[in-house]
């Protein structure tokens, strides 16, 4: 399974909002500047996140975006599914022979498990360079 820039940058948005949870709306331009990303591209990504109910927008001079739920209630899997679609390592596995089908299913389940058990809060509180904090086994 390959996660595109949509998924990666979408998680970047959600992590930034998770870090600021409870402190009011965060402008996309701030997230874009802090992560050296295109604000226009982030605007395209935040629309499906808003439509799915993961974020809400606040208009005005002090407006921006906010999470609709606590960061511990939103998983990385929620974000990836909104931006990337269903989690599948291989398409058309029903045409494969049984051993391969089982392998692809186990890989899919392992990836789903990691994404669904990793919350935005987990990602927002992990410090840069803290590689020992989480170990994922797939």
- Answer yes or no: are the C-beta atoms of 119 and 79 closer than 8 Å: no
Q: CA 124, CA 26: separation in Å to the nearest integer?
A: 15
pTM over 0.75: yes
| Tens-place pLDDT, residues 30-80 | 999 999 999 999 999 999 999 999 999 999 888 999 999 999 999 999 999
| End-to-end CA separation in angstroms for the chain | 12
- What are 47-61's pLDDT values in tens digits? 999 999 999 999 988
What is the rounded average pLDDT of the residues 82-88? 89
Confidence of residue 89 (pLDDT cuts 50, 70, 90): confident
Residue extents of the structural domains in the chain: 5-125
Instruction: Write the CATH number of the domain with boundaries 5-125.
Output: 1.10.10.10
Question: What residues contact 130, with CB distance under 8 A and at least 6 apart?
Answer: none
């Amino acid at each position: 399974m390959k996660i595109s820039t949509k998924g990666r940058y979408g998680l970047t948005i959600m992590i930034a909002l998770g870090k600021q949870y409870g402190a009011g709306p965060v402008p996309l331009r701030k997230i874009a500047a802090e992560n050296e990303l295109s604000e226009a591209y982030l605007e395209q990504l935040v629309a499906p996140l808003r439509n799915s109910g993961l974020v809400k927008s606040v208009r005005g001079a002090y407006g921006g975006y906010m999470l609709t739920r606590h960061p511990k209630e939103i998983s990385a899997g929620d974000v990836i599914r909104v931006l990337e679609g269903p989690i599948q390592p291989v398409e058309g596995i029903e045409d494969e022979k049984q051993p391969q089908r089982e392998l692809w299913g186990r890989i899919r389940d392992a990836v789903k498990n990691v994404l669904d058990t990793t919350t935005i809060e987990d990602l927002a509180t992990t410090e840069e360079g803290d590689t020992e904090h989480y170990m994922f086994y797939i």
